[in-house]
Amino acid sequence: MTYPNHSWRDPDSPFAFFLTVIDTYLHPESAYGVDDLAAWLKDGEPQEEISRFKDEFRQLLSGKLNQLPDYALFTAAEFDDGSDEAFLRRLWHELYGDEPVPSGGQSS
């Protein structure tokens, strides 16, 4: 079941940039996938956006997950990990390998 919540598309919404990237690369109807996202993070441009994505990702996993609008992450990616935090932790490992996952996250 999809919970349509696109309020994060407002650029002033918390983590709107992060959610837009997730929606672009990981939404089931996207022509992209996690490998494409990983390639962009490794070799893409502009570097400011790549840095911003990782910074927002760290913030989410360091305790700001509750600032996401309800169902926004699920709407953007339609994952089946059971929670936003579980999805983000799995994605962190897929994108950043053995780089430590930021601590201080909270369940959502």
pLDDT, residue 105, reads 47
- The residue among 95, 98, 84, 81 whose CA lies nearest residue 25 is 95
d(CA 11, CA 17): 7
Mean pLDDT by 10-residue block, N- to C-terminus, for the chain (108 residues)? 54 87 95 96 94 96 91 92 95 94 60
Other residues' Cβ atoms within 10 Å of the Cβ of residue 91:
21
72 backbone φψ class: left, alpha, beta (φ>0; ψ -120 to 50): alpha
Q: Which residues have C-beta within 8 Å of that of residue 92, sequence separation ≥ 6? A: 57, 61, 99, 101
Please answer whether residues 41 and 53 qualify as being in contact, where contact means their C-beta atoms are separated by less than 8 angstroms.
yes
Specify the pTM.
0.85
